[in-house]
Amino acid sequence: MPNVAWPRRMLALALVTVFLPGCVTATRDVVVVRCGTVTPIDRETQRRAADEIDAQPAGSVLAEIIVPDWLRARDEARSCHAET
């Protein structure tokens, strides 16, 4: 007479292996928000920086790409700090 216990045990092990992880998949969502820093700049320095940017030649990479990108990053950092 063949041993039928072994195939049943293997089937039981296979079923437990398949279905048990669905019972223990408790997760905890953790969201970490990291805001950029916003360095305070006094009015006189802001005025001088504006004058220097205005003095750039037309088509200047500094005036057309770098400064707008910096301003966007600064606005995003301010917004992030306001939300947290």
The DSSP letter of residue 37 is: P
Q: What is the pTM of this model?
A: 0.51
Contact yes or no for 40/77 (Cβ under 8 A): no
Write out pLDDT tens, residues 52-77.
Answer: 989 989 889 888 888 999 899 999 99
State yes or no: pLDDT of 3 exceeds 80.
no
Average pLDDT over residues 6-15: 69
Average pLDDT over residues 6-31: 65
Q: What is the pLDDT of residue 75?
A: 92
Q: In terms of pLDDT, which residue wins out, 12 or 24?
A: 12
Q: In terms of pLDDT, which residue wins out, 44 or 6?
A: 44
